[in-house]
A and B are shown apart, each in its own frame.
Chain A
Amino acid sequence: MPAPRMYKTEAVVLRQRRFGEADRFLTIYTPALGKLDVKARGVRKTTSRMSGHLQPLTRCVLQLAQGHVSDVVAGCETLESFQPLREDLERLSRALYTAELIDRFVPERTHSFPTYRLLVDTLRRLSDAEDQDQVLRYFEMRLIDQCGFRPELEVCSGCGSRLEPEDNHFAPLSGGAVCRSCVGGLAGARPLSLNALKVLRLLQRQSYNDVARVRMDGALAHEVERHLRSFIVSVLERDVNATSFIERLRREGARHAVEV
């Protein structure tokens, strides 16, 4: 059966870029159709009835018309605008990071209901969670898992023997944790404390509610973040743009705190 000329889908807008006189190309993420690039005509005009519904990080229902190259937005309505994300730079920078990760990890036109669910849940959590970085860690671990890059945290990625309850190493290029005797000469391997290993396992196995109950001190949170980030960078083979903005806000926040 040929695809219908007009169809309706729920979507989260991931990013947008200007196109032509007053149009935009949007990258949207849908539960059934996966990631798509669609064209929204005239949305840069102030009189556009759609532009407000098509801002990045909005969950909306879209009416799409099939086009020659890309589908065109024919109508839209906001379901959830995640307003708290738009009013706080810390939350916004982290939400944009999730959008960028989804954009980089998921292939076009491949459905994935769990990943869509994860994105929407994460945006909701970022809207009201106290510790937004913990929300991000859970999101990162789940996303790499769902995309087929689950890091090995039970046995050594080098020799396959069970990891001892002691300080080990984390080697993204080997696919996860490695034991002390295998770490020699491994590129990019970093020391992995026992506590960080436990947190990484927790992120991998438990639900968000269990993870949210855990309180980490700054050093441990930083270590977990560094390991997950290095794993993501090695899978993507590139840096994630939005991290530099998060880092900058953090640096400036710390400097401001010192001045006060």
Chain B
Amino acid sequence: MNESTPATAAPLARLIDELYKLPGIGPKSAQRLAYYLLRMPVAEAQSLASAIVEVKERITFCAVCQNVTEVDPCRICTDSERDRTIICVVEEPLDIMAIERTHSYRGLHHVLHGAISPIDGIGPEDLKIAELLHRLRSGEVQEIILATNPNLEGEATAMYLTRLIRPLGVRITRLARGLPVGGDLEYADDVTLARALEGRQEMQG
């Protein structure tokens, strides 16, 4: 795509083209961003450029948990403070960040890099499942928390993993499903509400 007129200088046109490739960026946004970058102080622009280059050069995937990392194995996998008997399985690296933000999980992680979606042709072979099974065979792990998304693909993935892992004799748990904080009961769908009823807890105090 090149919407720029001949009046647009070639380097600027190239920048617009590159920005347009990013997800969620349309032609107008690409132009706006390019002109913003043009007006940016040189130091800031260089900092952005080097950040992009650095991320591509230094970030790899952890050979153990498959998370994005600059040291392999990653800091979580090598942290001696963490509980090595429990692994939390998530779909994407961003999910690890969300779980770490809670400060209430001290075990290890495993990133699948996707979820099973048969319609889109994404099968178990496209996920990091073999790597997970390899970790489980060491015998150190006692519990697997399936923290895939509570949607159809995430549930399918959780069911599939359960089927594979159960014969290994590891305890398998799934994140609880129920009402979100700040939600209204009357808008809850039946599945969520049924799960929330099943998982009800005694009031303390």
Do A and B share a complex? yes
Which residues of A line the B interface, CB within 8 A?
14-15, 17, 20-21, 46-47, 49, 51-53, 55-57, 78, 81, 83, 86-89, 92-93, 96-97, 99-100, 103, 241-242, 244-246, 248, 252, 256, 259
CA distance A46 to B182 in the complex (A): 10
A134 to B88, CA, bound (A): 38
Total A-B pairs in contact (CB under 8 Å)?
Answer: 74
Q: Given the complex of chains A and B, what is the CA–CA distance between A20 and B120 in angstroms? A: 19
Q: A78-B190, A89-B156 are in contact. Are A244 and B121 (CB under 8 A)?
A: yes
B187 at the interface (CB under 8 A from A): yes
A256 proximity list for chain B (CB < 8 A): 167
Q: Which of A52, A87, A248, A256 has the most CB of B within 10 A?
A: A52
CA distance A259 to B160 in the complex (A): 18
Q: Is the CB of A86 within 8 A of B155?
A: yes
B29 within 8 A of A: no
Please state if B163 and A248 are interface contacts (CB–CB under 8 Å). Answer: no
Q: Which residues of B contact A (CB under 8 A)?
A: 24, 116, 118-121, 123-124, 151-152, 155-156, 159-160, 163, 167, 180-184, 187-192
Q: Find B120's partner among A47, A52, A241 (CB 8 Å cutoff).
A: A241
Main secondary structure of the interface of A (DSSP, over half): helix
> Pick the contact of B191 from A21, A47, A81, A96 — CB < 8 Å?
A81
In the complex, the answer to whether A52 meets B191 with C-beta atoms within 8 Å is: yes
Q: Pick the 8 closest A-B CB pairs, nearest first.
A: A52-B189, A49-B187, A245-B118, A241-B121, A242-B118, A46-B180, A100-B119, A89-B159
Kindly list 16 other residue pairs between chains A and B, CB separation below 8 angstroms, not including A55-B191, A87-B159, A242-B119: A15-B120, A52-B189, A52-B192, A55-B152, A57-B152, A86-B152, A86-B155, A89-B156, A92-B159, A103-B119, A241-B120, A241-B121, A242-B118, A244-B123, A248-B124, A256-B167
Asked if residues A89 and B182 are in contact (CB atoms below 8 Å), the reply is no
Give every chain B residue within 8 A of A96 (Cβ-Cβ).
Answer: 118-119
Contact B118 A52 (CB under 8 A): no
Q: Which residue of chain A has its CB nearest to the CB of B24? A: A20
Whole-angstrom CA separation of A240 from B184 in the bound complex: 40
Give the Cβ gap from A164 to chain B, nearest Cβ, in Å. Answer: 40
The complex places the Cα of A42 from the Cα of B121 at a distance, in Å, of: 25
